[in-house]
Chain A
Amino acid sequence: MAEEKMNSDKMWVTMGPQHPFSHGLWTLRVEVDGEIITDAEPEVGYLHRGWEKECENRTYNKIIPMADRLCYSASMTWSHLFCKVAEEALDIEVPERAQYLRVVADEICRIQSHLMWLAAVGTDVGNLTIFLWALREREFMLDLNVRLCGQRLTTNYPRIGGVRNDMPYYFERDCMRAIERFEKSLWDIIRLTDDSSIFVGRMKGIGYITRKDVANYGITGPAMRGCGVDYDIRRDDPYDAYGEMEFEVPVLKEGDAYSRYMVRIEEMFQSCEIIRQAMKKLESIPKNAPYRLKVPKCIPEGTHMARIEDPRGEGLMYLVSDGTESPYRLKVRSPVFVNVSASKHMVQGVRIADIPAIMAMIDMCLGETDR
């Protein structure tokens, strides 16, 4: 057996934890036969800090800012998800105004998270201009975050029973201006990417996953919709005000890295559309309507589950409460944790040089992967 291994031409190459493609601390060990990858093994856990156990030691209100830190670029959806599961436990629906404000905040967060991803993809596949352009557009979204929540990244905006504050003066005007500007400049970015033969050539035709496998591996979010699964929790399992929004869910059947990229670009346009509708709806809700319910400190005994469409996929929290002011157990299902476990199958048979383009489509975020 040992001799067989010695004589084999295959070898294991460790990519990471400090590697430009990894976007965080994780390792992808690949077995290569020349240039072709024959096997792979992702390794995570460098950032494991026992997030779920830490929560058992804190009151529910103290967990909201902690949930922000699960993923810095999608902080809004994580604190939103935690508030959702706590509201489910209390058996309440938040006031209408808070629902729409959450939708607006979520979609701003989705756009800026996708732009951060686009910037990372740009550097990964060799187009530095995209990095600069995408980050410039992202600043406008972060400015909206500052206006609405007072923070750029870890916003700490949702509360159990509503949101922290109503819109500030002229937020509506600023938001519409930023969205309109963004839609125009997104077209500029698309021209930059789709006309670049390097950019398209490095992504097209690699990292194929079939419709059946993508469900079986548990891949969710844009990566799943790029492989032909027509499913979006915002539309099919609506939470908060998403049930009243009209938007399209982009689905592509090709299943390669390029289609996953296209789905994310199209999602940004749809997010703009959702913000526009939510803003219109907010106009018709009286300004002095409540945006937050007063909720008890302790959550009644029971088990509760809520899920949400994170920019990266399906976020799910399972809460076991024992009637005290802190959770008995809180389980977080992170989309990237499952997506990265399938990277083994995605890189099978491609060349080493294709790995950055395939892995970029997972949109790594180690904070929520390792928890």
Chain B
Amino acid sequence: MSEDANIIEKPSRDDIVSLVKAEFGGKVEFIESTKKNIKAINEGRRLFMKADREVLHDLAKYLHDKLNFEQASSVAGVDWVDHMQVVYHLTNYCTSMVVEITVDIPNDDLHIASVSDIWEGANWHERETYELFGIVFDGHPKLERLLTPKSYEFFPFRKSYKLRGQE
């Protein structure tokens, strides 16, 4: 917990929606889940957002500093062939709320701001996403290959990299 007096320790779902809307306007879009039978969604412990690439770092900082999202659970890359996507899962320990943020990145400019200065825990997830998808996280302290050999010059999790039997 931060010493910051402005922090909202237990923001409700509605709080997050209204505060983020007021701060970022149309740059962040909220997506309603269509699922009916999932306990965690029915009880309001999930929130799905789609953010612009430019505001991602500010949004992450706002969620961390003001809304008490202390932990970055995961950072995942998805190759949609016509564009790439980075998906963040952030957790609030007080309310068990998990926020999912998806950010689209065009194929010809695979850059996004790193959030590892906000959450140290995102560090290795970003390195992994970089080496497997080739997405560059600007401002990352050590963007090197982690799981695959350093001599690799390709990105194995892209859809253009075919497995045996897929060719």
Name A residues whose Cβ lies closer than 8 Å to a Cβ of B: 44-45, 48, 50, 52-54, 56-57, 88, 91-93, 211-213, 215-220, 229-231, 233, 236-239, 243, 303, 305, 307, 314, 316, 318, 320, 328-329, 331, 333, 337-338, 341-342, 370-371
Could you tell me the distance between the alpha carbons of A18 and B32 in the complex, rounded to whole angstroms? 49
Least distance between B82 CB and chain A CB atoms (Å) = 14
Could you tell me the distance between the alpha carbons of A18 and B1 in the complex, rounded to whole angstroms? 39
Could you tell me the distance between the alpha carbons of A45 and B79 in the complex, rounded to whole angstroms? 22
B146/A45 in contact, CB under 8 A: yes
B121/A217 in contact, CB under 8 A: yes
A-B contact count (CB 8 A): 109
Assess whether B103 is interfacial by the CB under 8 Å rule: no
A53/B163 in contact, CB under 8 A: yes
B74/A57 in contact, CB under 8 A: no
Least distance between B103 CB and chain A CB atoms (Å) = 13
Between A and B, 26 residue pairs with Cβ closer than 8 Å are A48-B148, A50-B157, A53-B157, A53-B163, A54-B163, A57-B165, A92-B37, A212-B2, A215-B93, A219-B121, A231-B93, A237-B40, A237-B45, A239-B40, A305-B100, A314-B73, A314-B91, A316-B74, A318-B76, A318-B87, A320-B78, A329-B78, A329-B79, A331-B74, A341-B123, A370-B147
Least distance between B135 CB and chain A CB atoms (Å) = 13
B45/A318 in contact, CB under 8 A: no
Name B residues whose Cβ lies closer than 8 Å to a Cβ of A: 1-2, 35-40, 45-46, 70-74, 76-79, 87, 89, 91, 93, 96, 98, 100, 102, 119-125, 146-149, 156-157, 161, 163, 165-166
Do A217 and B120 form a contact, CB below 8 Å, given A53-B163, A238-B39, A316-B89?
Answer: yes
Could you tell me the distance between the alpha carbons of A45 and B89 in the complex, rounded to whole angstroms? 23
B147/A218 in contact, CB under 8 A: no
B121/A342 in contact, CB under 8 A: yes
Could you tell me the distance between the alpha carbons of A329 and B84 in the complex, rounded to whole angstroms? 12
Chain A residues in 8 Å Cβ range of B77: 331
B89/A305 in contact, CB under 8 A: yes
B89/A333 in contact, CB under 8 A: yes
Do A331 and B146 form a contact, CB below 8 Å, given A54-B163, A93-B37, A237-B40?
Answer: no
Chain B residues in 8 Å Cβ range of A316: 73-74, 89
Could you tell me the distance between the alpha carbons of A16 and B109 in the complex, rounded to whole angstroms? 38
Chain B residues in 8 Å Cβ range of A237: 40, 45, 96, 98
Residue of B nearest to A229 (CB): B93
Chain A residues in 8 Å Cβ range of B45: 237
Chain B residues in 8 Å Cβ range of A231: 93, 96
Could you tell me the distance between the alpha carbons of A219 and B122 in the complex, rounded to whole angstroms? 11
Chain A residues in 8 Å Cβ range of B70: 215-216
Residue of A nearest to B121 (CB): A218
Chain B residues in 8 Å Cβ range of A48: 147-148
Could you tell me the distance between the alpha carbons of A316 and B35 in the complex, rounded to whole angstroms? 19
Chain A residues in 8 Å Cβ range of B79: 329
Least distance between A336 CB and chain B CB atoms (Å) = 11
Partner of A57, one of B37, B38, B93, B166: B166
A56/B163 in contact, CB under 8 A: yes
Least distance between B126 CB and chain A CB atoms (Å) = 11
B89/A318 in contact, CB under 8 A: yes
Least distance between B22 CB and chain A CB atoms (Å) = 26
